[in-house]
Chains A and B, each alone.
Chain A
Amino acid sequence: MEISRKYTESELVQLLQQRNQPVFSYLYDNYSGALLSIILNIVKDETLANDVLQEVFVKIWKQINSYDPTRGRLFTWMLNIARNASIDTVRSKSYQQSQQNMSLSDDTQVTAGGVEMNTDQIGLRKIVHQLREEYRILIDLSYFQGFTQEEIAKMLEIPLGTVKTRLRTALIQLRSIIKP
Chain B
Amino acid sequence: MDVKAYIESGIIESYVLGMTSAAESAELEQLKRQYPAIQEAIDAFEASLEQSLLSDAKQPAAHVKAAIMRTIELENPAQKQAPVIPLTRLRLTAAAAIILLVVSATTNLYFYRQFKEVNQQYMALLAEKITLLAQQQSLQTRSLDLYEGMQIMSDPAVAKISMPGIKPEEGKLATVFWDRKTRDVYVLPNKLPQAAAGTQYQLWAIVDGKPVDAGLIDACNGLCKMKNIPAAAAFAITLEKTGGSSTPNLQQLQVMGQVNG
Which A residues fall within an 8 A CB radius of B? Answer: 1, 3, 19, 21, 24-25, 28-34, 36-38, 40, 46-47, 50, 53-54, 57-58, 61-62, 71-73, 75-76, 79-80, 83-84, 122-124, 126-127, 142-143, 167-172, 174-175, 178-180
**A81 nearest CB across to chain B (Å):** 10
CA distance A121 to B64 in the complex (A): 23
CA distance A71 to B53 in the complex (A): 20
- Chain A residues with Cβ below 8 Å from B65 are 25, 28-29, 32
Closest B residue to A47 by beta carbon equals B61
Closest B residue to A81 by beta carbon equals B18
CA distance A32 to B76 in the complex (A): 21
**A40 nearest CB across to chain B (Å):** 6
Type the 1/0 row for B1-25, where 1 means its CB is closer than 8 Å to any CB of A: 0000000111011101111000000
Some 18 contacts from A to B, beta carbons below 8 A apart, are: A1-B55, A1-B57, A19-B76, A21-B73, A25-B69, A36-B60, A72-B46, A76-B49, A83-B18, A122-B58, A124-B53, A143-B19, A167-B14, A171-B14, A171-B17, A172-B13, A175-B45, A175-B48
Q: Which of A53, A76, A80, A174 contacts B50 (CB 8 A)?
A: A76
Q: How many residues of B contact A (CB 8 A)?
A: 41
**A147 nearest CB across to chain B (Å):** 10
- Chain A residues with Cβ below 8 Å from B64 are 32, 50, 53-54
B18 near A167: Cβ-Cβ < 8 Å:
no
- Chain A residues with Cβ below 8 Å from B59 are 33, 36
Closest A residue to B42 by beta carbon equals A72
Please give 19 more A-B residue pairs, beta carbons under 8 A apart, in addition to A75-B53, A180-B52.
A1-B55, A21-B72, A30-B54, A36-B59, A36-B60, A47-B61, A57-B68, A58-B72, A61-B72, A72-B16, A75-B50, A79-B18, A79-B53, A123-B53, A123-B57, A123-B58, A169-B10, A172-B10, A174-B13
Q: Is B71 located at the chain interface by the 8 A CB criterion? A: yes
CA distance A121 to B8 in the complex (A): 28
B48 near A180: Cβ-Cβ < 8 Å:
yes
Q: Is B85 located at the chain interface by the 8 A CB criterion? A: no
- Chain B residues with Cβ below 8 Å from A38 are 53
**A146 nearest CB across to chain B (Å):** 9
B52 near A178: Cβ-Cβ < 8 Å:
yes
Q: Which of A34, A37, A71, A143 contacts B17 (CB 8 A)?
A: A143
**In the complex with contacts A21-B69, A62-B75, A73-B47, A84-B57 CB distance below 8 A:** no
- Chain B residues with Cβ below 8 Å from A143 are 17, 19
CA distance A61 to B103 in the complex (A): 51
**A70 nearest CB across to chain B (Å):** 9
A172 near B8: Cβ-Cβ < 8 Å:
yes
**In the complex with contacts A34-B54, A53-B64, A79-B53, A84-B18 CB distance below 8 A:** yes
Closest A residue to B14 by beta carbon equals A171
CA distance A179 to B75 in the complex (A): 39
B46 near A75: Cβ-Cβ < 8 Å:
yes
CA distance A80 to B46 in the complex (A): 12
**A73 nearest CB across to chain B (Å):** 5
B13 near A175: Cβ-Cβ < 8 Å:
yes
- Chain B residues with Cβ below 8 Å from A75 are 46, 49-50, 53-54
